[in-house]
Chains A and B, each alone.
Chain A
Amino acid sequence: MVAPTNVRFPDAVDQGLADYARQAGAKKSTVVVNAVREWLRMQTHAGIIFVPTITGERRAALVVGPQVWTVAEAWLQHDKAERTPAVLAETLGLSTADIEAALAYWADYKDEIDELIGRHRASQDEALAAWERRRHLDGV
């Protein structure tokens, strides 16, 4: 359900918003909704920011660098006995606070992060198979 909300932006903010929306090829309302959504998430998840990707997505990431889905995937790759923030922090070269921040975000937005992991794995499988098919031709 969409709830209309009137917001009056100062002229400079409105102009900046219009410029950004034009450059992004998006509607101003879309930019505002996404910005507010991300801002709200950052208020409840300290240590998380949103970064643009070259494909046009915006993904949740730790302020110190790695994207949340990569921490989540590493968590899943560890045996259950080793799935602790301390072990993951040591392995990934991050602090336990960073690991906790990523896990907390994952817990709250599990579908989003799980979808990214699934998409990443499918992309890898397809790209590796295509590369191997091409390499096979070198031996023909």
Chain B
Amino acid sequence: MASDFTRVRFLLDEHYPGWLAEDLTADGYDTVALTAHRPELRGADDGRVLAAAVAEGRVVVTEDVSTFSAAIALVPDHLGVVYCHHSRYQRTRAGLERLRKALGALAAEPPAGLGEHPVIWWLSGGPD
């Protein structure tokens, strides 16, 4: 029942492909990818990206911990940032498919406050 899991909505940072967002949306998890679906944010600093995510009610999914740490300091009232470790979710087809499953599982059973409050979460290893 995908409609049961629509509370957490994702914005994938620019290193993630549009097809991943589209597949997640098809799975029932409202997701957009910055590069493919929000071209006006290409090249924008991550403070703007995080503010845009807040305006759309979305949680940011990213690998870029250094720049998003700074962005979080500037946009403290965000709705959540999910970090993906490079060794857990490699940007290969298989790694991104694993990420798709893990984000779906996260959206289905989100940690308390994700999507509503400034929760920072590292995605666990997830399903194979």
Task: Using known A-B contacts A65-B35, A74-B91, A77-B90, determine if residue A123 contacts B66 with beta carbons closer than 8 Å.
Answer: yes
Q: How far is the CA of A51 from the CA of B64 in the complex (A)?
A: 15
Verify A54–B15 contact, CB threshold 8 A: no
Task: Using known A-B contacts A53-B46, A67-B15, determine if residue A124 contacts B92 with beta carbons closer than 8 Å.
Answer: no
Q: How far is the CB of A26 from chain B (nearest CB, A)?
A: 17
For window 30-49 of B, CB contacts with A under 8 Å fall at: 33-36, 39, 42-43, 45-47
Q: How far is the CA of A54 from the CA of B67 in the complex (A)?
A: 6
Q: How far is the CB of B67 from chain A (nearest CB, A)?
A: 5
Interface of A is mostly: helix
Q: How far is the CB of A61 from chain B (nearest CB, A)?
A: 6
Interface check A27, CB cutoff 8 A: no
Q: How far is the CB of B65 from chain A (nearest CB, A)?
A: 4
Residues of chain B with a CB closer than 8 A to A61's CB: 43
Task: Using known A-B contacts A67-B15, A93-B35, determine if residue A54 contacts B86 with beta carbons closer than 8 Å.
Answer: no
The 0/1 profile, CB within 8 Å of A marked 1, for residues 81-115 of chain B is: 00101100011110110000000000000000000
Residues of chain B with a CB closer than 8 A to A82's CB: 92
Verify B65–A127 contact, CB threshold 8 A: yes
Residues of chain B with a CB closer than 8 A to A74's CB: 15, 90-92
Among listed B1-9, B53-61, B69-77, interface-contacting one: B69-77
Q: How far is the CB of A39 from chain B (nearest CB, A)?
A: 16
Verify A91–B17 contact, CB threshold 8 A: yes
Closest to B71 in A: A54
Verify A55–B66 contact, CB threshold 8 A: yes
Interface check B28, CB cutoff 8 A: no
Verify A121–B86 contact, CB threshold 8 A: yes
Q: How far is the CA of A74 from the CA of B90 in the complex (A)?
A: 7
Residue in A73, A90, A123 whose beta carbon sits within 8 Å of that of B65 in the complex: A123
Residue in A53, A92, A127 whose beta carbon sits within 8 Å of that of B83 in the complex: A127
Question: Can you list the 6 inter-chain pairs with the closest CB atoms, starting with the nearest?
Answer: A93-B17, A65-B35, A77-B90, A70-B15, A74-B91, A51-B43
18 pairs across A/B with beta carbons < 8 Å? A49-B43, A54-B45, A54-B70, A54-B74, A55-B66, A64-B35, A65-B14, A65-B43, A67-B14, A70-B15, A70-B63, A74-B90, A91-B91, A92-B17, A93-B35, A120-B63, A127-B69, A132-B122
Residues of A within 8 A of B (CB): 49, 51-55, 61, 64-67, 70, 73-74, 77-78, 82, 90-94, 119-121, 123-124, 127-128, 131-132
